[in-house]
Chains A and B, each alone.
Chain A
């Protein structure tokens, strides 16, 4: 059940090149034709007619190859880059219409952003870096300290308060970046490839950390990555970009099972299907099943249920709301389902 819309991005364009505004006066072509015209004229449309909604408490992931315009879009959302056309509505108010002063206020209280290369200030130590946005707002040093130490606890940096960025590992530096972006208690949290500069192991650990924080704080999030497995772990919904254009929006499962085109399929192709299967999709009705099989929910991921299934060879009962029996997952039914979807192309998405 999605909450109300927090951020809405509509028909957003960013075009590099001289005087891009002229393309938008009285043009009646579709976005693709218009982008073609821009490229022909030597312009670089980095974001083309981007549109999506982010609901309250939702993690929305944007992914795409390098140069596909992900950073451009996320920077347009906070107006680090000035879009050339379109709307960005935060709580229904158009950010693009705000004055410089209003924008500063919004950044100070409603937005937080994490950067790929951390963007820490080299001359400030951990706690000063984290308190920096608070200091800019003119809070007293006691208030700064209180709120900074709260987020330091949250990201697990206790004891490193007085280290300087150069004395920290990449993972620790990004924890500082995360803590700094959370210090102002933002409503919308923007993360641009926050873990791409880290080693695979550390990256995984940081993803767990991120999920834990998100479970506590329930922010509305726009998260950028070029790693589909990362998207799969954290996304509620995601968008895939190609050459400035959003080519598909949906849940990870939808993208895997129903890729809009070959480009999306290339991203999703390598994902082991077991990662997206849910219990109800593998359940079959068994007439005379043994009593007292372990019970699981219909939306539980099969990947996580494998140990349970191993421990109970007779199967697992899938039980819906109110205890209604929906079917049983057995080793045979799982293998059958996998065989059906693996390589068989698009399958209709089952809803629980």
Chain B
């Protein structure tokens, strides 16, 4: 009975899908006659931008003095710190950093820290690096303090936690650039903007880790603290915080990385002589050698900060019996002693104070020539790869094969026969899938055939809405359909629809590619330990790198444009699917694998029939993460000239128009949240399937 009911609903489903696709097709065909179909009529939008600007104006009118005062207060520690770091002889900085590196990760990390700093010195970028470091050094403690305080509050009060969680999700999905303008307006121009942006962007991981760390202290430990006669305060500080400290320190690590990332991004507003600004300004002047040299500094700085904070968080305690003051504070005293010695040495030898100009070395000239030669030499190959991908993937998805195919792109003029042939191919593919009982696949073939033919931008807004809402309903029921409808209404009413389609087009393409590449690599890594070992440091590097840096090599080779944006997003988003699929495959229960092996499964059967299906929940998490990473990178790629919401945010920022920038930011957050909802719905279906099967 259940069987027949299912087939019946399956049939009904196919009929509705057919109707929906037919309607989309009809609308797309009718679109040239009715201009109102393609672009949502401007008369029907709400002037949200004006409202936002007006709201901001009145807000600024009232609160500006308060924010400016806050900004002035913040400038004190910042000035003091950058003054201090600027005054500090490089030799002292080097000695202290290497010693901390040794403490956090023994000799390997000490050596790495040393090499990284020497590179910075050799390139003559020490002062710029110190300016960025000052921003990090001031924003991290503030973000940590804020995050810890909120975390403790959230831990004690479930009501506060319920309020904090969505707030933090939003601060992390609204693209980084979208913060910058309101901060700029409220706090005024200057390095303080980077500081505030860093704090806002970096405190959420601290809150999360604090709550988790405090909550997950085992009840036995809490009870043993109580039975030891702890007062409330002792219980909290000496027992709970200390037992959860590792998790809390991991929060510090994540906060540091987020702050660094944001500070680098914030240098886009200029006015600071920091390392992010150096990368950006040279990139704009197409001085690739210089920007590569400075980009490597950022990457090194990120890696050193990451390894050191991570190492300190997870460090095993010393075995030695601590005795007096000197022994308990041995490390601090040693660092202090070494710093004083280095300082005295720097007083004696000025070369140890300020790195002499003629010890520096500027490889950017030869680098530039090298890059140019390489690009010239590889141009035919690179161009053909680029054109191939643009003409077969990027453009069809955007404006449709019907508009792309032509003598210059595909080498022939499209006729009605080509179109009919294409339609026949799609229908045949769908029919074949149908005959094998794969209804879902058949529908997917039809839908993609349709989209590729007309292009996302030509689907017409009623058609696209219909398709997406129905897809939402099929994936996640009424709730997701409502979500989708709300998102569509938002996009249309605020006039963000067209740009949003372009964002989705670019991001979806990049995410699909990186999901496929990443999952494939993850499967390989799960099957081969050697490959996994090779891949791991590359992943770590890609992930700790501030997003900005990824742009450099891409632009160097492919120049600015949509293709570079695509590549940069793929580079950034590929890590998550690699990690999640490898993790999922490696954590398939042992007994299942043994059972399958004993049944005589070959290696490939084992992989495709057993491991991959069981790892599906994790693989899907990889997709979810890839989407989130893709969207956050999308904004950054606005710098290389894209044409979507990210660009609008960027324009809003550079023109000082709060409304349009912020609106575009919210629109991107809406896309991200909706994508997240879709992923969760698919995830639930997969979980249900796995549960039902077992």
Tell whether, in the assembled complex, residue A136 and residue B229 are in contact, meaning their CB atoms are under 8 Å apart.
yes
Tell whether, in the assembled complex, residue A113 and residue B223 are in contact, meaning their CB atoms are under 8 Å apart.
yes
Tell whether, in the assembled complex, residue B228 and residue A180 are in contact, meaning their CB atoms are under 8 Å apart.
yes
Q: Decide yes or no whether A215 CB sits under 8 A from chain B.
A: no
Q: Decide yes or no whether A132 CB sits under 8 A from chain B.
A: yes
Q: Report how far A121 CA is from B317 CA in the complex, Å.
A: 13
Q: Decide yes or no whether B557 CB sits under 8 A from chain A.
A: no
Q: Report how far A113 CA is from B227 CA in the complex, Å.
A: 7
Tell whether, in the assembled complex, residue B221 and residue A125 are in contact, meaning their CB atoms are under 8 Å apart.
no
Q: Decide yes or no whether B319 CB sits under 8 A from chain A.
A: yes
Tell whether, in the assembled complex, residue B227 and residue A123 are in contact, meaning their CB atoms are under 8 Å apart.
no
Q: Decide yes or no whether B305 CB sits under 8 A from chain A.
A: no
Contact with A along B313-332 (1 / 0, CB 8 A): 00011011100000000000
Given known A-B contacts A136-B238, A162-B321, A121 and B221 have beta carbons under 8 A apart? yes
Q: Decide yes or no whether A13 CB sits under 8 A from chain B.
A: no
Q: Chain A: which residue is nearest B317 at the CB level?
A: A164
- In the complex, chain A residues whose CB is within 8 Å of the CB of B234: 136
Stretch at the interface among A3-11, A102-110, A301-309, A339-347: A102-110
Tell whether, in the assembled complex, residue B224 and residue A162 are in contact, meaning their CB atoms are under 8 Å apart.
no
- In the complex, chain A residues whose CB is within 8 Å of the CB of B224: 113, 115, 119-121, 177, 180
Q: Decide yes or no whether B9 CB sits under 8 A from chain A.
A: no
Q: Report how far A133 CA is from B229 CA in the complex, Å.
A: 7
Tell whether, in the assembled complex, residue B221 and residue A120 are in contact, meaning their CB atoms are under 8 Å apart.
yes
Stretch at the interface among B64-72, B94-102, B239-247, B625-633: B239-247
CB proximity to A under 8 Å, residues B213-237: 218, 220-221, 223-231, 234
Tell whether, in the assembled complex, residue A119 and residue B229 are in contact, meaning their CB atoms are under 8 Å apart.
no
- In the complex, chain B residues whose CB is within 8 Å of the CB of A59: none
Given known A-B contacts A108-B229, A136-B230, A180-B228, A119 and B223 have beta carbons under 8 A apart? yes
User: Count of A residues near B, CB < 8 Å?
Assistant: 34
Would you call the interface of chain B mostly helix, strand, loop, or mixed?
helix
Tell whether, in the assembled complex, residue A162 and residue B319 are in contact, meaning their CB atoms are under 8 Å apart.
yes
Tell whether, in the assembled complex, residue A80 and residue B317 are in contact, meaning their CB atoms are under 8 Å apart.
no
Tell whether, in the assembled complex, residue A107 and residue B321 are in contact, meaning their CB atoms are under 8 Å apart.
no
Q: Report how far A134 CA is from B467 CA in the complex, Å.
A: 69
Q: Chain A: which residue is nearest B320 at the CB level?
A: A162
Q: Decide yes or no whether A137 CB sits under 8 A from chain B.
A: yes
Least CB distance from A120 to B in Å reads 7
Least CB distance from A163 to B in Å reads 7
Q: Report how far A80 CA is from B218 CA in the complex, Å.
A: 14
Q: Report how far A162 CA is from B321 CA in the complex, Å.
A: 6
Least CB distance from B459 to A in Å reads 54
Interface residue from B220, B238, B245, B319 paired with A118 (Cβ < 8 Å):
B220
Q: Chain B: which residue is nearest A190 at the CB level?
A: B227
Q: Decide yes or no whether A83 CB sits under 8 A from chain B.
A: no
Q: Report how far A107 CA is from B221 CA in the complex, Å.
A: 15
Q: Report how far A162 CA is from B318 CA in the complex, Å.
A: 9
Q: Chain B: which residue is nearest A161 at the CB level?
A: B321
Q: Report how far A78 CA is from B243 CA in the complex, Å.
A: 23
Q: Chain A: which residue is nearest B230 at the CB level?
A: A136
Tell whether, in the assembled complex, residue A119 and residue B320 are in contact, meaning their CB atoms are under 8 Å apart.
no
Q: Chain A: which residue is nearest B318 at the CB level?
A: A162
Tell whether, in the assembled complex, residue A122 and residue B228 are in contact, meaning their CB atoms are under 8 Å apart.
no
Q: Chain B: which residue is nearest A109 at the CB level?
A: B229
CB proximity to B under 8 Å, residues A172-189: 177, 180-181, 184
Q: Report how far A123 CA is from B245 CA in the complex, Å.
A: 9
Q: Decide yes or no whether A69 CB sits under 8 A from chain B.
A: no
Least CB distance from B263 to A in Å reads 32
- In the complex, chain B residues whose CB is within 8 Å of the CB of A163: 319
- In the complex, chain A residues whose CB is within 8 Å of the CB of B228: 107-108, 132-133, 136, 180, 184
Tell whether, in the assembled complex, residue B220 and residue A116 are in contact, meaning their CB atoms are under 8 Å apart.
yes
Q: Chain A: which residue is nearest B235 at the CB level?
A: A136
Q: Decide yes or no whether A117 CB sits under 8 A from chain B.
A: yes
- In the complex, chain B residues whose CB is within 8 Å of the CB of A180: 224, 228
Q: Report how far A78 CA is from B226 CA in the complex, Å.
A: 10
- In the complex, chain A residues whose CB is within 8 Å of the CB of B238: 132, 136
Q: Chain B: which residue is nearest A80 at the CB level?
A: B223
Least CB distance from B555 to A in Å reads 48
Tell whether, in the assembled complex, residue A104 and residue B223 are in contact, meaning their CB atoms are under 8 Å apart.
no
Tell whether, in the assembled complex, residue A107 and residue B227 are in contact, meaning their CB atoms are under 8 Å apart.
yes
Residue pairs across A and B with Cβ atoms less than 8 A apart, 19 shown, are A104-B229, A104-B230, A107-B226, A107-B228, A107-B229, A113-B227, A115-B223, A116-B220, A117-B218, A119-B224, A119-B225, A121-B242, A123-B242, A125-B317, A161-B321, A162-B321, A180-B224, A181-B227, A184-B229
A residues touching B (Cβ–Cβ < 8 Å)? 75, 78, 80, 104-105, 107-109, 111-113, 115-123, 125, 132-133, 136-137, 161-164, 177, 180-181, 184, 190
B residues touching A (Cβ–Cβ < 8 Å)? 218, 220-221, 223-231, 234, 238-239, 242-243, 245, 316-317, 319-321
7 residue pairs, one from A and one from B, having the closest CB atoms: A108-B229, A119-B224, A119-B220, A133-B228, A107-B229, A113-B227, A115-B220
Beyond A119-B220, A119-B225, A122-B243, 5 additional contacts (C-beta under 8 Å) are: A78-B227, A121-B221, A121-B224, A121-B225, A180-B224
